[in-house]
Amino acid sequence: MAEEEVTLLLPVSPTYGGLVKRIELLDSGEKRRKSLVATAARDKVIMELQVMARSLVMLQKNLVQIEQTAAGTAELVSPMRKIRAAAYRLDDLLDEIEYYGLQARLAVDSEVRLPILGSFLLGAANQRRKSSRAKQKQLLSEFVAVVAESRDLVASLGKHDNKDKAPDSDSGIDSPDLITVPAHLERKDAQESIVRLLISSNHQLSVISVVRMCGVGKTTLAHLVYNDKRVEQHFDLRIWVSVPSSGINKTVIAREILQSAWTGYGDQMPQADFQMLQSDLSRLVASHRFLLVLDDLSDAHKIHPLHKDDWLDIFTPLQSAQAGSSVLLTTPVMGVAQLLSTSQPCILSPLGKEDWSPLLTECALSGKQINCSQDIQQAGRELSDKPNELPSAAKVRDGVLQATSSMHKWGSIVERYICGDATLRPFQLVYDRLPAHLKKCFAYCALFPKNWMIDRTKLIHLWIAEGFIGPQGGADKRVEDLGSQCFDNLVSLRFFQRHEQGSKTFYLLHRPFHDLAEAVSANYCFRVESGLTGKIPPTVCHLSVTTDSLLDLNTHCTLEKLRTLIILSSPPCSFPDGLLSKLMNLRVLDLSGSNITELPRSIGGLSHLRYLSLPRTLQRLPESLSRLLHLQTLWFADDCCLDKLPAGTTNLVKLRHLGIHTKYIAQLVGIRRLVNLQGSVELHVQKGGGRTLEELRNINSLHGELKIAGLDNVLTKEEACKAELSNKRFLKDVKLEWNSSSGVIARSTDAEVLESLKPHPNIRELRIKRYSGSTSPGWLQSPLLEKLQSLHLVNCRNMSILPPLGQLPSLEQLHMKELCSVNQIGHEFYKSDHVPFPSLKILELVDFPMLLKWSAQVKCDPFPCLKVLRIIDCPKLEEIPPVPSTATDVTIERIFSIKHLRFAPFSSSLTMLTLEGCTENVLSKRYFHPQHLESITVLKINGDKQLLATEGLGSLHSLQKLHICEADLTDHNFSLFLQALPSVSSLEIINLPNITTLPVHADLGFCSTLTELHILNCTLVSSLSSLTAFISLKCLVIERCPKITALSFPMNFGSLVSLKILSISYCPQLQSLPTGGLPSSLHALSLIGCHPNLVEQSRDKRDDFFSVLATVPKVLIY
């Protein structure tokens, strides 16, 4: 964009505000801690900076005024660039000053290895200080000159009556975090039409296209269809792919499909070729009816266009899916739709006038009925009359109106919007009214290609590293919290669209906003993509790369000015020699999209670096990494194969986020220096120095998990108290582990140590493992941990009495395993003045070898929310309390009277009860609530040697399927058992060695309801004469019953007019068809592995056997 055309400039004022804050923090830090290497020259620099800070405050105010009143003036472009450059130079200066302060702090730490600091503190230090002082003086002088130039600019603006004008307090968006913009404009007719097409299709694979220009609502409509309840129920696999805007080919598309449906696929198969991708696609959709959405397939893919043969290669493996599978694609290009669609494309048109008035009311007025002036009403009518407006544009416009509290401002907004100014689009309108820091955060998103799935946390960390968001407010307001607020503000304004991919959540920048971000940041942000020709603008500071070679960077841009380098994707390559030495001003270096195998030692020279993200392909890191004293974020891929972290990692005292498995952190010595860590930490206590609990004393900002192992090595409670766990109020998860259980010997010191490791009441999850004390800690015996949601007690072999956990109000999961000394569970466990365990959803007791009794004698029924109950390996436990009526998943195994019991959902509409060797005990002793018995639809009984009819069978009113296997039943007992059953539709009997017939009477309750009968491996069954009692039988399967013959069937077998399927397998005595003939309703007949005569008769066309088979549509005999 030429300078005279520029109407949008990135604000500079937040940068100067950040500089003021940094100077204040630097000054206060020096007052608290006098540096050992402080010199008169250094003190003079700080004094000058203090004076400068006062000037910067005024300059920032003036810049705010300039940006709000004259930002579109062409003559401002060059001066504003100079001011920005000066701000960056001063930022470098502050980094230098602070860097030497950090070195001084590390120098007095006796545990810091001098070789790691190298030349910083040894011979070359004096020379470095001299050059630094000269550089500082030069930068300060130059900055003073630019400040004077800025003052002249402000003075010249005063000639236009803007000199004394304060920033308009109502010119920005009010409380953007409170803005609510509707998520969509419903196109109910189009949605209904597409949904009907999808769920009614019987084609093997159909392709439906939604076509229209960008911004008309194609993606929104696709989301509505994708999330429609009917679509969710119809397709058992749904896949959403946002098509990349560049570098597209059939391999990319196939990989995108697999990655969307299969989380982590790209990490597991990073170099898969197209044939392998095709094979994986086929396996992915096999036996599924799927819906695949290909969103935003535009004509921007001209570098590598896809032809019809390419799409056939992509769609061919999808043919392995079930019939009725569909592809829904959105595209602004009719040619694409016509190329791929199997039906008439759905063409969206702009909404009409009648659609906009309700939208204006909902978006701009939040649906409120307010008294508007005649001018406002007229403005609303003019907006509604605007022809052919895009939905996305209108939603943004009306969102700005909603966020504008002063109604008189509506007039100016509407006037600017409808006056025909070609440069003022609705998306620019919302940008104009963003706070200055949000403008910078938004513009930075231009580094990501269109349709790039943006990780929220990563983007916030990038903003922080670039200085767009800095500390402010009280001590409790983390910079990460401020970043989250900024991100949420942009989401509420519809800049971002939320997208779920498996268990992960990503965000996509809406295409019109992406175009705006590119326009706003054109001189500062740039993407290097395949096919790049020409130079990158010399003003670019932030660069992302999606290209075949990093070597291209040297020839296309001025590397020294870069503050950001992000490698989004790159084929395997090594980092070019000498490249890092030219990137000395980098704040962000993201190599996670590359496949480099070695990181150069020169990484240690990037002294300004705040953010470093590394790929999974690295196996080792250079020790020079420990020189990055400004580093705030060090991030690794989830499945990194790193050998270890550099020993000097604990020198990175400003590190806030160390994104790596905590097992690597456990190897470090001296983590006490990492007091700013926000994530998770693991410490293995050792008796030697550097790994004691005192290391944790001042690490109080952890927001993740703290794991402490090796507590055997903590010998006194005084040593345990030094960890000060109660001060770590942001921790979510605490794990306390001893290296080995002490067996039958309880150490008194273990109890004292655990008592002294009292966590903060805010923790959500607590795990205690291999604790050998005989009592639980006092802080676990009171409702102190009122926010605790999950508790694991594992291998606490000497604990004989369970703590009173029933009084924990928020506890949702309780897992107890290998508590070998507990012999009873009673009132002490439930102890509560109210309902015990009011929130518990999962309760698990595993391996309680001494437990004899579990009673629940409490005033109120416990476990009102319990869903999952598991009782396993409690061999002496004879009685358990009744299962709460709310439980939907119950497993009881290997207790005194129950070998195996499983009560769980069998499908979305069926509940199954599986019993092994305990049917009478379970059904007669009322373990289950009547509500459970009534919900059972599938009953499986295995290995019950004495299966008897019980009273509980009659309570199974919803029973549909019965499976009996390996039961020691006689014909008589089996008859009594069947008579006790209510109606069932499916009966399967397997390996019942003593029954000889089906003991069925005509008055049996389920004679009229049974539709499926399976008889398998019943070696003595020789008579099936009672089959005709099952008048509704549709499917009969007989397998491995050696005494079955043609005479085993009833003489009137042909009268089973409902029978559709008959399958008889491996019955060697069956030499001919049933004597009573075949039912005329039979649709499929299968005779496999029976007497050879059957096969011979089926081949003889002259035999009557052949004529009988001719009436059956599907016959299989061999």
The helix or strand, by DSSP H or E, that contains position 382, with its residue range, turns out to be helix 374-384
Reply yes or no on whether the pLDDT at 486 is more than 50: yes
Torsion of the alpha carbons at 717, 721, 726 and 731, rounded to the nearest 10: -100
Q: Tokens at residue 384, please?
A: 């509604």
CA angle 840, 845, 849 (to 5 degrees): 155
Reply yes or no on whether the pLDDT at 608 is more than 90: yes
Reply yes or no on whether the pLDDT at 915 is more than 80: yes
pLDDT score at 818: 93
- Place 165 in a pLDDT band, splitting at 50, 70 and 90: very low
Reply yes or no on whether the pLDDT at 366 is more than 60: no
SS3 label, residue 677: coil
pLDDT score at 436: 85
Reply yes or no on whether the pLDDT at 249 is more than 80: no
| CATH of the domain spanning 523-673, picked from 3.30.465.10, 3.40.50.80, 3.80.10.10, 3.40.640.10 | 3.80.10.10
If phi > 0 it is left, if psi is from -120 to 50 it is alpha, else beta; for residue 388 that is: left
Q: Render pLDDT for 321-351 as a digit per residue (tens, 0 to 9).
A: 888 888 888 887 776 766 776 666 677 665 5
The residue-averaged pLDDT of 216-241 equals: 83
- Residue of 518, 214, 182 whose CA lies nearest to 364: 182
The residue-averaged pLDDT of 122-146 equals: 59
Q: Which residue has the higher pLDDT, 728 or 781?
A: 728
Q: Among 210-219, 748-757, 1040-1049, 1065-1074, where is mean pLDDT lowest?
A: 210-219
Name the E strands within 921-1072: 938-942, 961-965, 986-990, 1012-1016, 1035-1039, 1061-1065
Reply yes or no on whether the pLDDT at 882 is more than 80: yes
Contact 193, 185 (CB under 8 A): no
CA distance 307 to 311: 7
CA distance 819 to 822: 6
Contact 506, 260 (CB under 8 A): no
Tally of residues, the chain: 1118
DSSP 307: P
Phi, psi of 779 (to 5 degrees): -70, -10
Residue type for position 906: F
Q: Render pLDDT for 541-556 as a digit per residue (tens, 0 to 9).
A: 999 988 665 556 666 6
Distance of CA 834 to the CA centre of its chain: 37
Q: Tokens at residue 908, please?
A: 């979305």
CB hemisphere CA count around 924 (13 angstroms): 11
CATH numeric code, 188-347: 3.40.50.300
Q: Tokens at residue 750, please?
A: 């273990």
- Residue of 458, 451, 462 whose CA lies nearest to 508: 451
Reply yes or no on whether the pLDDT at 1051 is more than 60: yes
pLDDT score at 115: 42
CA distances from 889 to 41, 865, 902 (A): 72, 12, 8
Q: In what order do the strands lie in the sheet with 290-295?
A: 237-242, 290-295, 325-331, 205-211, 346-347
Sign of CA dihedral 926, 928, 933, 936: negative
Highest mean pLDDT among 3-7, 296-300, 460-464, 589-593: 460-464
The residue-averaged pLDDT of 367-373 equals: 45
Strands 911-916 and 813-817: unpaired
pLDDT score at 342: 64
Buried b (16+ CB within 10 A) or exposed e, 812-828: bbbbbbbbbbbebbeee
- Which pTM value belongs to this model? 0.76
If phi > 0 it is left, if psi is from -120 to 50 it is alpha, else beta; for residue 21 that is: alpha
Share of the chain above pLDDT 70, in %: 73
CA distance 916 to 749: 45
Q: What is the DSSP string of 128-180?
A: HHHHHHHHHHHHHHHHHHHHHHHHHHHHHHIIIIITTPPP-TTSS-S-GGG--
- Residue of 752, 743, 735 whose CA lies nearest to 821: 743
CA distance 649 to 369: 60
- Place 634 in a pLDDT band, splitting at 50, 70 and 90: very high
Q: Tokens at residue 19, please?
A: 């500089």
Q: Render pLDDT for 44-95 as a digit per residue (tens, 0 to 9).
A: 667 777 777 777 787 788 778 777 765 556 667 777 787 788 788 888 878 8
Residue type for position 752: E
Q: What is the DSSP string of 618-664?
A: -----GGGGG-TT--EEEE-TT---S---GGGGG-TT--EEES-HHH
Q: What is the DSSP string of 687-733?
A: SSTTSSGGGGTT-----SEEEEE-GGG---HHHHHTT-GGG-TT--E
Contact 350, 310 (CB under 8 A): no
CA distance 614 to 659: 10
pLDDT score at 169: 40
Q: Render pLDDT for 917-952 as a digit per residue (tens, 0 to 9).
A: 676 667 766 778 888 888 888 888 887 776 665 667
pLDDT score at 151: 64
pLDDT score at 30: 55
Reply yes or no on whether the pLDDT at 26 is more than 80: no
The helix or strand, by DSSP H or E, that contains position 21, with its residue range, turns out to be helix 13-32
| Other Cβ atoms within 10 Å of 1113 Cβ, number | 9
- Residue of 794, 778, 891, 799 whose CA lies nearest to 842: 891
Q: Which residue has the higher pLDDT, 710 or 1097?
A: 710
- Residue of 514, 515, 512, 562 whose CA lies nearest to 537: 562
Distance of CA 474 to the CA centre of its chain: 31
Q: Which residue has the higher pLDDT, 344 or 116?
A: 344
Q: Which residue has the higher pLDDT, 136 or 97?
A: 97
CA distance 81 to 9: 10
Burial class of residue 118, CB neighbours in 10 A (0-12, 13-18, 19+): middle
- Place 302 in a pLDDT band, splitting at 50, 70 and 90: very low
Reply yes or no on whether the pLDDT at 395 is more than 60: no
- Place 121 in a pLDDT band, splitting at 50, 70 and 90: very low
CA distances from 555 to 535, 540, 544, 570, 579 (A): 8, 14, 15, 18, 12
pLDDT score at 787: 92
- Place 805 in a pLDDT band, splitting at 50, 70 and 90: very high
Phi, psi of 55 (to 5 degrees): -70, -35
- Compute the mean pLDDT over every residue in the chain, rounded to the nearest whole number: 78
Q: Tokens at residue 615, please?
A: 């790929």
SS3 label, residue 859: coil
Name the E strands within 284-341: 290-295, 325-331
CB proximity list for 186: less than 8 A, separation 6 or greater: 224
Distance of CA 974 to the CA centre of its chain: 52
Q: Which residue has the higher pLDDT, 22 or 266?
A: 22
CA distances from 1108 to 1065, 1097, 1105 (A): 19, 11, 5
Buried b (16+ CB within 10 A) or exposed e, 1083-1106: eebebeebbeebeebbeeeeeebe
CB proximity list for 374: less than 8 A, separation 6 or greater: none
pLDDT score at 178: 34
- Place 43 in a pLDDT band, splitting at 50, 70 and 90: low
Burial class of residue 718, CB neighbours in 10 A (0-12, 13-18, 19+): exposed
Distance of CA 785 to the CA centre of its chain: 28
Q: Render pLDDT for 508-521 as a digit per residue (tens, 0 to 9).
A: 988 888 888 988 88
Reply yes or no on whether the pLDDT at 362 is more than 50: no
